[in-house]
């Protein structure tokens, strides 16, 4: 079962192309404000994580996610539930 750090590593990898020059991705990077992800791109990010970890992520968790840390934390919570 993947842990927080594994989720984090994968999220960083997927988000790398979205980081504009000079922006270093970290746990506090905000998906919409800092990276400018559209709602469609957020859904694509979710789908790629789902495929990689063979898991389904309910839409219900999205309102609680602002940063990379929030996402990794919610994913870890899902795998524990």
Partner 1 sequence: MSLFDKFQPIIDIQAELQALGVMPFGAITEKLLSSTEAIVDGHKVILAGTNNYLGLTFEPECLEAAKQAIDELGTGTTGSRMANGTFAGHVALENELAEFFDRRHAIVFSTGYAATMGMGSTLAGPGDVIVLDADSHASIYDGVRLGGADVIRFRHNDPADLDKRLRRLGDRIENTLIIVEGIYSMMGDQAPLAEIAEVKRKYGGLLLVDEAHSLGMLGAHGRGVAEAAGVEDDVDFIVGTFSKSLGAIGGYCVSNHDQLNAIRFAIRSYIFTASPSPSVIASTRAALRLMQERPYLRDQLWANAQRLYDGLQALGLQVSPQVSPVVAVTIKDRNQAIDWWNRLLQLGAYVNLVMPPASPGDDSLLRCSVSAAHSAEQIDRIIDAFASVQGSAQAL
Neighbouring CB atoms inside 10 A of 2's CB total 17
Stretch that binds partner 1, among 1-9, 12-20, 51-59, 68-76 (CB under 8 A): 51-59
Q: How far is the CB of 19 from partner 1 (least distance, A)?
A: 20
Q: Which of 43, 48, 66, 67 binds partner 1 (CB under 8 A)?
A: 43
Stretch that binds partner 1, among 3-11, 15-23, 27-35, 49-57 (CB under 8 A): 49-57
User: Does residue 37 contact residue 31 with C-beta atoms inside 8 Å?
Assistant: yes
Burial classification of residue 46, based on how many CB atoms lie within 10 Å of its CB (0-12 exposed, 13-18 middle, 19 or more buried) = buried
């Amino acid at each position: 079962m993947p842990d927080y750090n594994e989720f984090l590593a994968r999220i960083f990898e997927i988000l790398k192309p979205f980081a504009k020059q000079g922006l270093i991705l970290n746990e506090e990077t905000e998906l919409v404000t800092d990276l400018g992800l559209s709602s469609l791109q957020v859904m694509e990010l979710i789908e790629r994580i789902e495929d990689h970890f063979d898991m389904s992520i309910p839409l219900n968790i999205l309102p609680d996610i602002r940063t990379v840390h929030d996402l990794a934390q919610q994913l870890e919570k899902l795998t524990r539930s």
